[in-house]
Amino acid sequence: MSNKQTAKTLPAFRVYSVARNGEKKASWAEIGAAWRHKDGKGFNLQFAARPLEGAAIVLRTVEPKKAGAL
């Protein structure tokens, strides 16, 4: 995967590791991003961290940040 290509475009998805700690609430940690292939038949995934063992990997669409949001 070329970092040059991904630097020009926003990712289509953010990649999260979602783990439950025995309670009802889950812990979400952003661990990477995914970019669509030009032909629309796949994705390139780039990870900044590893998911916790047993955690689910979740892809969520990238939403533009609202003005004034952190």
Residue-wise pLDDT tens digits, 9-68: 889 999 999 998 777 789 999 999 999 999 999 999 999 999 988 999 999 998 877 777
Compute the distance between CA of residue 38 and CA of residue 44 in angstroms, rounded to an integer: 10
Dihedral (CA of 2, 42, 31, 51) sign: negative
pLDDT of residue 7: 52
pTM for this model (two decimals): 0.74
* Residue whose C-alpha is closest to residue 10's, from 65, 50, 52, 56: 65
CA–CA separation, 33 and 23 (whole Å): 27
